[in-house]
Structure 1
């Protein structure tokens, strides 16, 4: 049997403070195929970001393991790029320099200076930010900053792109435009994507599967919903699609059930 591209195996995570131990995650298991777009959704405090940070290598699990291409993940690495809700750009660097910094870090030994320059420009053009190369973060909008953050992550050519509520701080129109950009880029590059979201419509629109977390403490995966909608997806057309509305209803029902019965496990 073929091994999954990314495997989250029996992950537990506890934190201890002042002698008290709190279990955030318990026995989280998930297998992700190459090129899949996975969304993780659940109420606040259910450990969504903890799962993502463990996959990123920023947090060590208390027990269990993360396997990428059947190799255990130990610590951060350029094969897993993380985009935060806050763009995390360096304010004293230009748009170009913010992306070039990551490119130089990853490819200095394998690409020439000219190749790294061309690759930086390519990734900024991919997110439609080629016009703002010499602007600093303070001179561009929130949506533009997030585009640069995505370009920086993609420029590292990660095997897995990790998105932690990347559109949560944006206005509705900017969020919609950026969601469309991410769908377009993912269809071109076939990245494997894990995204944290609170937005049900966003999860259904973007995902191949939606992973629904039970409430914390000791949260785990309650249900996994496969989104069988053809790509490319158009948000206007999908509004009247009964399958789209059925998926949306299924996620909302799960979240409502968990809110009404916090201790319930599906």
Structure 2
């Protein structure tokens, strides 16, 4: 991996205030994400995973600490950090092509000619196997296809980091598996840096180089980081009886459900 201090999270803390009450959501989050790495952040609901992703994206300001990308502090949104949300966020009145074009024209106006932008849009739709649906509107395609377009739009911005906020959470199991395979294929092909929020242990291990396990909130922090020692490409069926896979899965489950049980909701 080319740059061993590509993305640094330095002692990030985040608190939200409402009137006189202040809630500390994150405390002392520090880690380095390497260039080309796929990192998943996992933890129970309410542990601040999405808040952390929004901080990296520049959508939420830190209370303390900072985010450093290639030795420069980032504290506002920018095209070098594209976000794919669980809700695809496509504009319903635009076609698949036009939804991706919106991002491409914003980022590359003045940098690529109209013909180059057109080719780049089609290239990214081809990457997610959606070029055939380029003229359809969101209402005419399935949930999985919408999410593919959302991923294409993120990739088309040519970001340094692609941030994925539970990108497969709203999909059925089979569609989810197909999209996971596609994301892994894209990651291997492009070698880009990806940071993903997930609740799914198997998804985290299947896709990631490292799994970051968060403690429960409030004042959540990084509990453990697991190195996933599985060679790529990874084939789902071959992992079922793979010792490294089962050990990694057991380690994450033990952290989440033995040492950091899900918070109970008061009746």
The answer (yes or no) to whether the contact 1:6–1:69 under 8 Å persists in 2 is yes
Q: C-alpha distance in 2, partners of 1:175/1:74?
A: 32
Task: Specify every segment of 5 or more residues in structure 1 that has no aligned partner in the other structure, as ranges.
Answer: none
State the match for 1:245 in structure 2: 246
Q: Note the C-alpha offset of 1:257.
A: 2.4
State the match for 2:83 in structure 1: 82
State the match for 2:179 in structure 1: 178
State the match for 2:150 in structure 1: 149
Q: Note the C-alpha offset of 1:259.
A: 4.0
The answer (yes or no) to whether the contact 1:26–1:220 under 8 Å persists in 2 is yes
- Aligned residue-pair number: 261
Q: C-alpha distance in 2, partners of 1:29/1:55?
A: 12
Aligned pairs for 1:123-162 within 5 A: 123-162=124-163
Change (3 A) 1:78 1:224: same
SS at match of 1:96: helix
Q: Note the C-alpha offset of 1:261.
A: 8.5
For normalisation by structure 2, the TM-score amounts to 0.96
Q: C-alpha distance in 2, partners of 1:245/1:259?
A: 20
SS at match of 2:218: coil
State the match for 1:98 in structure 2: 99
Q: C-alpha distance in 2, partners of 1:260/1:252?
A: 10
Q: Could you give the per-residue CA deviations for residues 206-265 of structure 1, whole angstroms, max 9, x where no partner exists?
A: 000000000000000000000010000001000110110000000000001244496xxx
The answer (yes or no) to whether the contact 1:42–1:214 under 8 Å persists in 2 is yes
SS at match of 1:22: strand
Task: Specify every segment of 5 or more residues in structure 2 that has no aligned partner in the other structure, as ranges.
Answer: none
SS at match of 2:257: helix
State the match for 2:170 in structure 1: 169
Change (3 A) 1:130 1:19: same
For normalisation by structure 1, the TM-score amounts to 0.97
